[in-house]
Amino acid sequence: MKQQTMTLQGAFRKISHDRMYYIMFAPVFIFAILFCYLPMIGVLLAFFDFTPFKFKFVGFTNFIDLFFGIRSVNFWRSVYNTIFLSLSNLVLGTLISVSIALLLNEIESRKFKSFIQSILYLPHFLSWVVVASIFTIILSPQGGLINNFLSSMGYERIYFLAEETWWTPIYLFIGRWKETGWGTIIYLAALSGINPELYEAAEIDGAGKWKQALYITLPSLVPTIIIVFVLNLGKVLNIFESVFVLMNSNVLKVSDVISVFAYRTGIQQANYGMGTAIGLFRSFIGMILVLMTNKINEKIRGSSIF
């Protein structure tokens, strides 16, 4: 008992000594409780038939309907689209970011390099609403830059964002245009950490730029590439805004993702119970992916990310 009292007194003394840090942390802590943890009570709605006109406990009926019932076709389609678009973005983002980082690393002029980096980074700071507006204007069938060019060449105008064949590649292109520059920062930082003596030794041995990149640069980047890829793998289901601002009813088959499906069901159709069930499923799968990511990261780095 005496030991416990002494321990508590020591803890209170430490808190008193570091009170300014706790005061600074308090707003963040309160924000997290109010907007991140308290709303989690709402997951209980997944087990109710909850609409503006009724509130009835139905157990797992919403999930059964979601997985095997009338909504299952649209639901599993949204799961497939989510995984396909996210993984495509992840793989393309990794390949393109690494490639651009390697090219930027070869630029000797510091001013020119800084200029190119600034141009590449700028789209990241635009909101998805602004980006969607820009590309909607450029790809517009009436007066859009691309369609005006096609028309001048004798081709028919195409409503790119309203055709399933075109929507997916355009979405992936826009995503890479917006985020690739920002993604290169990590790889440029990793490149700056490579020992210059390795390149000097390679030059003495007669290795050119290509062999230096192949046998020194890329192997040195592999650990960073794997870690970034694995950490991003845990967020593959978290896409909403980028899809929502570019999609329309004509391309629902290829653009409907889990978050948008939950929004349409829960908010637009006012079926709050089913919408919560969809969101709970997405969160559960996301948790599994994060835990898997942590295990893979632990195998690679030898330490947990938690």
Q: Give residue-wise pLDDT tens across range 213-226.
A: 777 888 888 888 87
pTM of the model as a whole? 0.84
Closest to 245 measured CA to CA, from 174, 153, 299, 305 = 174
Does residue 168 register a pLDDT over 80? Answer: yes
Q: Superfamily assignment of 69-301 in CATH? A: MetI-like (1.10.3720.10)
| Rounded distance between C-alpha atoms, residue 184 and residue 179, angstroms | 9
Does residue 154 register a pLDDT over 90? Answer: no
CA angle 106, 111, 117 (to 5 degrees): 65
pLDDT tens per residue, range 240-261: 999 999 998 899 999 999 999 9
CB 229 within 8 A of CB 235: no
Sequence ranges of the domains in the chain: 2-57, 69-301
| Rounded distance between C-alpha atoms, residue 135 and residue 139, angstroms | 6
Residues 6+ apart with CB under 8 A from 305: 231, 293, 294, 297, 298
Q: What is the mean pLDDT of the chain?
A: 85
pLDDT band at 7 (very low <50, low <70, confident <90, very high): low
| Rounded distance between C-alpha atoms, residue 51 and residue 64, angstroms | 18
Most confident range (mean pLDDT) of 15-24, 96-105, 186-195 is 96-105
Tokens coding 137 = 């204007």
pLDDT tens per residue, range 29-42: 999 999 888 888 88
The conformational region for residue 157 under phi > 0 = left, psi -120 to 50 = alpha, else beta, is beta
CB 170 within 8 A of CB 177: no
Most confident range (mean pLDDT) of 48-57, 64-73, 162-171, 180-189 is 162-171
Does residue 199 register a pLDDT over 80? Answer: no
Q: State residue 304 phi and psi, 5-degree precision.
A: -80, 155
Residues 6+ apart with CB under 8 A from 253: 77, 164
